[in-house]
Amino acid sequence: MKKKTAAAGMLLLILVLFATSRGDEAWQKHLNLDLTVTQNSYSDNWAGGEASNVNWVAAANSGFEKQLSEMISSKTTIRLEFGQTHNQDPETKEWAKPVKSTDEIDIETLASFALLRWVDPYLAVRFESQFLDASYPALKRYVNPKWVTESAGISRQFYETDKNEIFSRLGLYLRQIITEDIVDTTSRRTEINSTNDGGIESVTDAKLTLSDKVSYTLQLTLYKPLVFSESGKLEGTSEEDYWKEVDVNWENTISAAISKYVTVSLYIQLLYDKEIAKKGRFKETLSLGLTYKLF
């Protein structure tokens, strides 16, 4: 209950910051829409066991920034992605049900306060999830699990030009993980559970323009938990200290504009969370797709 109150209080504070916005300052905003489709098709007389497949990924990346007052600025970033792969059986040529290939919801609002000389205090609220939980195909769960993170600390803009920036922040965080867990597969009954942790947060964002057509973006997020609501249940087990390890999310994207609406992108992500897997998880996506800048 305390966690929910903290999240509501932090969100209310952000809304108040928006309400105090100066009318003479315009929002700096952008919205990029991407659609990538890959298709392979074979005639029936191929003898090597080839099978047709279709893969598609849709993505939306948006940001809103504004100087709310002389000392307060606000920035909201939204990243949404979803994609599926459709495969054909090599023998029967029947198409199987689509399998999820990409799925992400990431929304964050950050308020910075220009109160100190070298660093700026900040408050942030972040919501992370996925559109479809396909871990148990027979029972679809949507927007599950959910991570809600509230954080506060100090931040600094190390480098900034019209097209480039390096921004980093360090602070304390409180995080609630809300899950819809399956209780009974026969009756398809689920229940809502939650766990809480808190500790030290470090986030570094970089946007660099390498040339007129090539850009690079990076986000490195580190969480060092100091407290965990379920630590007592793990005492005496081989996993009792797993939650104390640093969680890492390192995302890299290199984009090259082939034309006004066609872009080649290479996305590389490295995840490490010992509670999920003892080794790091790696993801790479190379795509050629349509990109449209709405504003």
Taking only the tens place, the pLDDT of each residue in 165-223 is 999 999 999 999 999 999 998 888 999 999 999 999 999 999 999 999 999 999 999 99
Q: How far apart are CA 175 and CA 152, in angstroms?
A: 12
Instruction: Annotate 208-236 with DSSP letters as a single string.
Output: EE-SSSEEEEEEEEEEEEEEETTHHHHTT
Query: From the CB of residue 82, how many other CB atoms can be counted at a distance below 10 Å?
Result: 18
Residue 269 lies in a domain: yes
Residue 45 lies in a domain: no
Please state, rounded to an integer, the average pLDDT across all residues of the chain. 88
Residue 47 lies in a domain: no
CATH of residue 65: 2.40.230
Residue 83 lies in a domain: yes
SS3 84: strand
Banded pLDDT at 1 (limits 50, 70, 90): very low
Q: How far apart are CA 226 and CA 249, in angstroms?
A: 18
Domain that holds residue 86: 2-39+53-293
For residues 56 and 36, the answer to whether their CB atoms sit within 8 Å is yes
Residue 175 lies in a domain: yes
CA distances (Å), origin 64, targets 20, 33, 77, 251: 16, 15, 7, 21
Residue 48 lies in a domain: no
For residues 184 and 191, the answer to whether their CB atoms sit within 8 Å is no
- Residue 7 pLDDT > 70: no
Taking only the tens place, the pLDDT of each residue in 208-261 is 999 999 999 999 999 999 999 999 999 999 999 999 999 999 999 999 999 989
CA distances (Å), origin 107, targets 79, 174, 192: 6, 16, 22
Residue 8 lies in a domain: yes
- Residue 14 pLDDT > 90: no
Using a cut of 0.75, tell me whether the model's pTM lies above it. Answer: yes
Q: How far apart are CA 283 and CA 253, in angstroms?
A: 12
Q: How many domains does the chain have?
A: 1
Percent of the chain with pLDDT over 70: 89
- Residue 164 has phi, psi (to 5 degrees) of -135, 150
Q: How far apart are CA 205 and CA 209, in angstroms?
A: 14
Mean pLDDT of 107-111: 94
Chain length of the chain: 295
Residue 180 lies in a domain: yes
